[in-house]
Amino acid sequence: MNMNRITEAERKRFHKILDDSIDKLDSPKNSEKTHWSEIGIHELTAFQNGECIELIGAVTLQKPQKNIESECFDNINFPLFIIDNLRGNV
C-alpha cells in the first residue's frame, strides 16, 4: 500500500506549475507593481480574494486555457507573498 499522497510525477508537475507561476512575476505587466514586501498582509489577502473572483469569472465565462492558467498563477503567487512576508522575507 502506497502511503504517499503525491507521486513523484505529480511533484515534478507541481514544481513546474510553481515555476511558471513565479515566472509570471517577471512579466512586463507586473514589472511596475509594488513589491509584495511593501504591502501588508491584510491588503495582500484582499488582493487574493480579488484574484479568486477573477479565476471564477474566467472559468465561468469559459475563457481560453491560457487565461485560466494565468488567473491560477495569480492565485498561487499571493499566498506565496503572504508567507514570504510572514517569514520576514528571508
Q: How many residues are recorded in the chain?
A: 90
Determine how many CB atoms are found less than 10 A away from the CB of residue 38: 8
Q: What is the DSSP letter of 25?
A: T
- The predicted model gives 57-82 an average pLDDT of 97
CB-based contact 77:31 (threshold 8 Å):
no
Angle (deg, nearest 10), helices 41-60 and 65-86? 170
Q: What is the pLDDT of residues 9-62, one digit of tens each?
A: 999 999 999 999 999 999 898 888 999 999 999 999 999 999 999 999 999 999
